[in-house]
Amino acid sequence: MSRSYNLNSQPKAGRFSLDYQAELNEEQYAAVCSKPGPALVIAGAGSGKTRTLTYRVAYLIEKGVEPKNILLLTFTNKASREMLERVRELVPVDISDLWGGTFHSICNRILRRHAEELGFTSSFSILDRDDQKSLINSVIADCDIDTKDKRFPKADVLLTIFSLALNTGADIPKIVDESYPYFEDWIEQIVEVGAKYTKKKLEVNSMDFDDLLLLTVKLLKNNLDLRQRYQKKFQHIMVDEFQDTNHVQSSLVNYLVAGQESIMVVGDDAQSIYSWRGADMENILSFPDRFKDAKVFRIESNYRSVPEILELSNSAIKANRKQFDKNLKAHRTGGSARPALVALDDPGAQANFVAQRVLELRDEGVELEEMAILYRAHHQSLEIQMEFTSRNIPFQITSGLRFFEQAHIKDVSAFMRFVVNRKDEVSFKRMILLLPGIGNVGADKLWRSWVATGWHQREDNPAKFSDILLDFKPPKKAQAGWEQLCYTLDELVNGGEFARPSSMVYSILEGTYDDYIRATFDNYEQRKQDIQQLMDYGEGFDDIMEFLAQLSLMSTADGDPSGKKEQPDDESVVLSSIHQAKGLEWKVVFVIWLTDGMFPNGRILDADDQDAMEEERRLFYVAITRAKDELYLTYPMINPKSYRGDLVQTPSSFLDDFPRELVEEWNVSSAPSWDDHDFGDDPF
Ligand code: ATP
Ligand code: MG
């Protein structure tokens, strides 16, 4: 006897009857429901590009496309999770087979299946930055490079050079020449280390982040059979934020879609802000040339912001020469306050203002997570971090570590901690391990020499550290650095008296540390600026103990001195660099430090480089277009604690790019406190 059995049919068109026309505007609808084939959605910020992609996925599934045949490439994994979550709400279908994620995560998935083809095994490790550094250090040790007379770039710097070369397609000497001219004498050795590093990774069956992309491209390029299999699998490929793809990512997309060309990319040339990482705006601009018959959709409405904010954004980006003219129209109705332009006395007042407004807005019912403070560079968040900490305003930082948790701030503090507390073995070792030629064994020996002098137990300060320390026997290679360190320490105690906190930071930076960060870190300028900020902060203290205590308390501001990260408060204000804020939106946005030198960045201003300046302006555009309801543009008029002396700040040149009537200028004055009143001798 046989049994009849029917397979249920897969969801087909019309099953969910989503009302696309009601949820989308005409242009979005046209893109979402377009016939398969290359398509480009190019539109300004907040016009619903990401929303269009989300609905496109839903539409395809509704039309019967199987989720496993869809590839969705997003800027972050979080963005992909959120988009797929939304798709699930729209079409109640199991979409776990859909491939969604960043370029790196998708490449990882491909490589796990075919690593053998490249000489790796499928269990290859992915190297994080620390792993990469130790691997590169072992390569340097093997290369036998004589670094006695001249510093060889440290692992971090080398990794950045290699990565830039791969991501921009330029060769290593060119990168060194353009970005690291002070390492020019080492070009030959740098190239050698690069080649050996690549070999070593294969030997230890490990890939770094760049390899994930490059090796996938290599795999698809060299293996026609495999390439065709993936092309067949991914019948629909979608890419968000396409303006920030680099040439490796672009060729990956080309290999995956070649032939059937079912690709939809969305982006905004006015928001291209990653050229420093090799992103090439040409990828989006030349899309219609590369994909013949590509349909181009332009969305002209902005759904995110009130018209007052949108008008300012449209106007602010106009000054750029290189752009497609778009004039977004506001979908939302007007009548809100114009964006606020707020000049404050100094950075402290700026932080005060932001904190006070945040608290007021919270009282008015705006939730803390609906507010964001955005800035050009991480160190510009310092005063805000301090002000929020002292007012108990919960915040999360997406731009990096909390200021005082950063390695270079801790390094500089180690010098001061040691001179103040001479039993502090950890700080002593942290400090001397910075010297070239001193490793753990050497550090231990020197610490024992220090203990042997008995000075670690004495209450009084040595008049000169060098009188004691110069008698020690550091490793030969470290002799010059050691002497330099001794003289630096002398400056910190000034004949037995502690120097002021800010001069201590100055001496440490100038005497020893500057040399170290230049050779060690890829972002030398930024770290130097951080330390200068620390110096400014130190100006507010006379007493070094108080200063150090404050630093320690600030770095454990999460309340856990063990250093473990707490889960970010659900209800917390976001502090973010503008780069990290891409694609996101908040009800209220503060853009701070709008002064020439801070934003636009000083180096770019000095270099007078028109292209770089246009990218800065796009960054400004990204910042202000994150705001839905309220936007505050703030800047300090003076920066009295600047290490360069009293410094009157010039308001950012971006503020001249739009007519003043588009903003409302706020005059902020300090309410008199009781301490300010002169009541005479006996007022009552
Ligand atoms: P960005 O350039 O910043 O990445 P975007 O173009 O991707 O922005 P989205 O983030 O997709 O824009 O949309 C901005 C906001 O507008 C979101 O809150 C979105 O839900 C809303 N939105 C977009 N289109 C519509 C629409 N047709 N109806 C209602 N809301 C919409
Ligand atoms: Mg988007």
pLDDT tens column, 113-162: 999 999 988 877 777 676 788 788 878 888 888 766 678 898 889 999 99
The per-residue pLDDT for 672 is 59
Answer yes or no: do 100 and 177 share one domain. no
- Substitution site in 51, 85, 264 for ligand 1 pocket (most atoms within 8 Å of beta carbon): 51
Answer yes or no: do 361 and 475 share one domain. no
| Max Cα distance, the chain (Å) | 113
- Separation of 266 CA from ligand 1 center, angstroms? 12
Answer yes or no: do 535 and 411 share one domain. yes
Smallest CA separation from ligand 1 atom 21, residue:
303
Answer yes or no: do 398 and 411 share one domain. no
Tokens, residue 286: 């030349």
Residue 268 CA, closest ligand 1 atom number = 2
Answer yes or no: do 86 and 217 share one domain. yes
Answer yes or no: do 67 and 44 share one domain. yes
The per-residue pLDDT for 402 is 63
DSSP 178: H
Tokens, residue 189: 């050795």
In angstroms, the CA 650 to CA 638 distance is 9
256 falls within a domain:
yes
Task: Compute the chain's Rg from CA coordinates.
Answer: 29
Mind listing the pLDDT tens digit for each residue in 231-290? 999 999 999 999 999 989 999 999 999 766 789 999 999 999 988 778 888 889 889 888
- Summarize the confidence of residues 213-230 as an average pLDDT: 95
Mind listing the pLDDT tens digit for each residue in 366-395? 999 999 999 999 889 989 998 998 888 999
The per-residue pLDDT for 276 is 79
Answer yes or no: do 443 and 534 share one domain. yes
Mind listing the pLDDT tens digit for each residue in 168-221? 888 999 999 988 998 998 999 999 999 999 998 888 788 888 999 999 999 999
More confident residue, 392 or 619: 619
Residue 108 binned pLDDT confidence (cut-offs 50, 70, 90): confident
Domain count for the chain, please give it.
4
Answer yes or no: do 535 and 443 share one domain. yes
Smallest CA separation from ligand 1 atom 8, residue:
46
- Separation of 475 CA from ligand 2 center, angstroms? 55
- Separation of 43 CA from ligand 2 center, angstroms? 10
Give the catalytic positions in this structure. Answer: 49-50, 240-241, 271, 626
626 falls within a domain:
yes
561 falls within a domain:
no
CA distances from 349 to 179, 344, 523, 668, 674 (A): 36, 6, 29, 9, 18
Indicate which ligand has the atom closest to the C-alpha of 74.
2
682 falls within a domain:
no
Percent pLDDT > 90 in the chain is 55
Residue 570 binned pLDDT confidence (cut-offs 50, 70, 90): low
Answer yes or no: do 92 and 237 share one domain. yes
- Separation of 580 CA from ligand 1 center, angstroms? 18
366 falls within a domain:
yes
CA distances from 387 to 164, 347, 348, 465, 557 (A): 37, 11, 8, 37, 12
CA distances from 287 to 41, 235, 292, 472, 582 (A): 11, 19, 9, 66, 22
In angstroms, the CA 656 to CA 635 distance is 14
Domain-ending residue, one of 204, 228, 249: 204
> Nearest to residue 98, comparing CAs of 113, 111, 80?
80
In angstroms, the CA 287 to CA 269 distance is 12
Residue 625 CA, closest ligand 1 atom number = 3
Contact 501, 538 (CB under 8 A): yes
- Substitution site in 244, 304, 329, 332 for ligand 1 pocket (most atoms within 8 Å of beta carbon): 304
Tokens, residue 318: 């106009």
In angstroms, the CA 296 to CA 299 distance is 10
Answer yes or no: do 573 and 516 share one domain. no
Answer yes or no: do 150 and 96 share one domain. no
- The pTM assigned to this predicted structure is 0.75
In angstroms, the CA 330 to CA 23 distance is 17
455 falls within a domain:
yes
Domain-ending residue, one of 523, 555, 587: 555
- Substitution site in 303, 326, 587 for ligand 1 pocket (most atoms within 8 Å of beta carbon): 303
Q: What is the CATH number of the domain that holds 52?
A: 3.40.50.300
Evaluate if residue 682 carries a pLDDT over 60.
Answer: no
By residue range, what is the domain housing residue 47? 20-112+212-299
Helix then strand then coil, in percent of the chain rounded to 5, is 55, 10, 35
- Separation of 241 CA from ligand 2 center, angstroms? 7
> Nearest to residue 435, comparing CAs of 515, 505, 509?
515
Residue 54 CA, closest ligand 1 atom number = 11
In angstroms, the CA 50 to CA 60 distance is 16
Indicate which ligand has the atom closest to the C-alpha of 25.
1
306 falls within a domain:
no
- Which residues form the pocket of ligand 1, taking CB atoms under 6 Å from any ligand atom? 24-25, 28, 45-51, 268, 271, 303-304, 583, 585
Contact 663, 312 (CB under 8 A): yes
Residue the block writes with tokens 């009295």: 640
663 falls within a domain:
yes
Answer yes or no: do 217 and 272 share one domain. yes
Residue 43 CA, closest ligand 1 atom number = 6
Domain-ending residue, one of 174, 204, 234: 204
Residue 301 CA, closest ligand 1 atom number = 24
- Separation of 24 CA from ligand 1 center, angstroms? 10
